[in-house]
Structure 1
Amino acid sequence: MGAPVHEHISDAVKAPDLVRLTPNTLLARFETLKVYAALGAVRTLLERGTIRPGGTVIDSSSGIYALALALACHRYGLRCHIVASTTVDATMRVQLEILGATVDQMPPSHDLRLDQERRVRRVREILAERPGTHWMRQYHDPVHYAGYQEFADLVAAALPGQALTVVGAVGTGASTAGLVLPLRRHGLDVRLVGLQPFGSVTFGSDHLSDPEAIIAGIGSAIPFGNVRHRLYDTLHWIDFRHATAGAVGLLRDHAVFAGLSTGAAYLAAGWEAAHHPERTHLVIGPDTGHRYVERAFARHREMPDARALRPRRVTRLADLAPPWSVMAWRGADAPEQARHAPHATVLEDAP
Structure 2
Amino acid sequence: MSGTLINANVVDALALPRVVWLRPNLVGLSFPLMKLLPARYIVRKALEDGSLQPGGLIAETTSGTFGLALAMVARLQGHPLFLVSDPAIDAPLKRRLEDLGATVHIVEKTGASGGYQGARLEVLERVLADNPGSFCPRQYTNPHNPGSYAPVAELLAHATGGVDCLIGSVGSGGSVCGTSSYLRLLFDELRVIGVDTHRSVIFGQSDAGSGRLLRGLGNSLMPRNVDHTAFDLVHWVGAAQAFLATRELHRNHALFVGPTSGAAYLVADWWARQNPDQLGAVILPDEGYRYQDTVYDDAWLKANGARLDVLPHGPVEWDQPHDGDDPWAFYRWGRRAYGEVMGAYEAHAELVGA
Both proteins in one fold, TM over 0.5? yes
Mapped to 1, the partners of 2:30 and 2:199 lie a distance apart of 26
Of 48-57 and 186-195, the range deviating more from structure 2 = 186-195
Mapped to 2, the partners of 1:236 and 1:7 lie a distance apart of 38
Aligned length: 339
Mapped to 2, the partners of 1:150 and 1:255 lie a distance apart of 25
Deviation of 1:226 after TM superposition, in Å, equals 0.9
Mapped to 1, the partners of 2:277 and 2:324 lie a distance apart of 28
Mapped to 2, the partners of 1:326 and 1:90 lie a distance apart of 34
Aligned to 1:202: 202
The answer to whether the 8 A contact 1:234-1:328 is kept is yes
Alpha-carbon displacement from aligned partner over 1:87-131 (angstroms, at most 9, x marks no partner): 22222122212222111123388x996121221111012122222
Of 332-341 and 264-273, the range deviating more from structure 2 = 332-341
Deviation of 1:338 after TM superposition, in Å, equals 3.0
Mapped to 2, the partners of 1:42 and 1:288 lie a distance apart of 23
Deviation of 1:146 after TM superposition, in Å, equals 2.6
Alpha-carbon displacement from aligned partner over 1:293-336 (angstroms, at most 9, x marks no partner): 32322126842323x43211112113743201011111111141
Alpha-carbon displacement from aligned partner over 1:156-183 (angstroms, at most 9, x marks no partner): 11111x2331111110001111111111
Alpha-carbon displacement from aligned partner over 1:8-30 (angstroms, at most 9, x marks no partner): 11012111111111111111111
Verify: 1:303 aligned to 2:314, yes or no: no
The answer to whether the 8 A contact 1:145-1:175 is kept is yes
Deviation of 1:6 after TM superposition, in Å, equals 4.6
Mapped to 2, the partners of 1:25 and 1:287 lie a distance apart of 18
Mapped to 2, the partners of 1:71 and 1:133 lie a distance apart of 18
Which of 315, 319, 329 is residue 319 of structure 2 equivalent to? 315
3-state SS of paired residue (1:224): coil
3-state SS of paired residue (1:237): strand
Aligned to 1:349: none
The answer to whether the 8 A contact 2:142-2:225 is kept is yes
The answer to whether the 8 A contact 2:167-2:264 is kept is yes
Q: For residues 5-154 of structure 1, what are the structure 2 equivalents within 5 Å?
A: 5-107=6-108, 114-154=115-155
Aligned to 1:175: 175
The answer to whether the 8 A contact 1:15-1:30 is kept is yes
Partner letter of residue 256 of structure 2? F
Mapped to 2, the partners of 1:11 and 1:214 lie a distance apart of 32
Alpha-carbon displacement from aligned partner over 1:31-54 (angstroms, at most 9, x marks no partner): 110100011111111111121111
Mapped to 1, the partners of 2:35 and 2:323 lie a distance apart of 33
Mapped to 1, the partners of 2:288 and 2:122 lie a distance apart of 30
Please, what is the CA RMSD of the aligned residues?
A: 2.4
Q: For residues 183-332 of structure 1, what are the structure 2 equivalents within 5 Å?
A: 183-206=183-206, 213-299=212-298, 302-306=307-311, 308-318=312-322, 320-332=324-336
Q: TM-score, normalised by structure 1?
A: 0.89
Partner letter of residue 22 of structure 2? L
Instruction: Calculate percent identity across the aligned residue pairs.
Output: 30
- The 3 A distance-change label for structure 1 pair 191 and 142 is same
Partner letter of residue 168 of structure 1? G
Mapped to 2, the partners of 1:114 and 1:242 lie a distance apart of 25
Mapped to 2, the partners of 1:207 and 1:49 lie a distance apart of 37
- The 3 A distance-change label for structure 1 pair 319 and 81 is closer
3-state SS of paired residue (1:153): helix
